[in-house]
């Protein structure tokens, strides 16, 4: 064994020793499983609605635990882990989350006409509206989509769990507003608006008008839009709300334009 070979071996050994003793940088363990526990067991024989509802529950729990971790690390001065929790929470909030179920997926019992005053539904509706208001930080400019998704989930839960509540048409309308304004889910928004005025033909919300505008300008379905503008003139004109006259005037003008296009 010559001297050059021995020197090479010694150099490699030195590098290995230095590498083994070097302190690893403090980085988030992206590729490691650091927490004990098992993923929840999913019954694949369940129907779609049950699976989606469970997924939504776990999604909300995941967010709640991230927020709890963030608070814990702030309280105990664990800055590095606080940053990780904040980054993961921000990623969660920014990520697009689908509701998966449209109203036509729900059983017929969830689509009956609401008539009753239900205390639990009223509380859920108030919670949803609070999330909705908090999510609209600066309408059209800055929004908290995490809170808007929570509002949407609350509205959907109300519709499914309390189908007889007199808050159903309100929940349907505002769910449509969230889907249209903040998530660009125009087809689904139209379905919610339609269900709102089907649930209560005297709903205090401009469901016909909003559906008409989405069909007209976003989905370019002029025939269906014309039907809705005409419904605005029939069902939403003369109502004691600030939007009634302006919506009716627009619907009358736009109806003439659409009829002239044919």
pLDDT tens figures, 214-232: 999 999 999 999 999 999 9
State mean pLDDT over 11-19.
44
The whole model's pTM is what? 0.61
Q: Determine, yes or no, domain membership for 171.
A: yes
Domain containing residue 163: CATH number: 1.25.40.10
Q: Is 227 exposed, middle or buried (0-12, 13-18, 19+ CB in 10 A)?
A: middle
Q: Determine, yes or no, domain membership for 60.
A: yes
Please report the sign of the dihedral spanned by the C-alpha atoms of residue 103, residue 187, residue 202, residue 225: negative
The domain total for the chain is: 2
Taking only the tens place, the pLDDT of each residue in 57-86 is 787 788 889 889 989 999 999 999 989 998
Give yes or no: residues 232 and 253 share one domain. yes
Question: Which residues are CB-contacts of 54 (< 8 A; sequence separation ≥ 6)?
Answer: 40, 42, 46
Q: Domain limits at 73?
A: 46-95
How would residue 105 be classed by pLDDT, with cut points 50, 70 and 90? low
């Amino acid at each position: 064994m010559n001297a050059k070979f021995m020197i090479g071996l010694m150099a490699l050994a030195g590098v290995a020793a230095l590498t083994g003793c070097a302190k690893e940088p403090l980085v988030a363990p992206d590729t490691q499983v650091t927490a004990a526990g098992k993923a929840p067991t999913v019954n694949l024989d369940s129907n779609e609605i049950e699976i989606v509802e469970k997924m939504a529950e776990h999604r909300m729990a995941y967010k709640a635990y991230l927020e709890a971790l963030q608070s814990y690390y702030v309280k105990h001065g664990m800055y590095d882990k606080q940053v990780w929790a904040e980054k993961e929470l921000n990623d969660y909030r920014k990520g697009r989350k689908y509701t998966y179920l449209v109203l036509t997926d729900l059983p017929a019992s969830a689509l009956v006409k609401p008539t009753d005053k239900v205390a639990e539904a009223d509380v859920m509706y108030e919670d949803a509206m609070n999330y909705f208001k908090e999510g609209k930080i600066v309408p059209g400019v800055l929004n908290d989509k995490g809170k808007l998704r929570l509002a949407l989930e609350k509205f959907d839960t109300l519709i499914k769990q309390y189908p007889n509540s007199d808050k159903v048409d309100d929940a349907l309308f505002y769910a449509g507003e969230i889907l249209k304004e903040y998530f660009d889910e125009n087809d689904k928004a139209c379905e919610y608006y339609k269900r709102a005025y089907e649930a209560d033909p005297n709903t205090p919300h401009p469901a016909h008008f909003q559906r008409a505008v989405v069909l007209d300008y976003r989905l370019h379905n002029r025939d269906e839009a014309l039907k809705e503008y005409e419904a605005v003139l029939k069902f939403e004109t003369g109502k004691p709300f600030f939007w009634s006259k302006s919506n009716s005037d627009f619907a009358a003008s736009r109806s003439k334009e659409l009829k002239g296009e044919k």
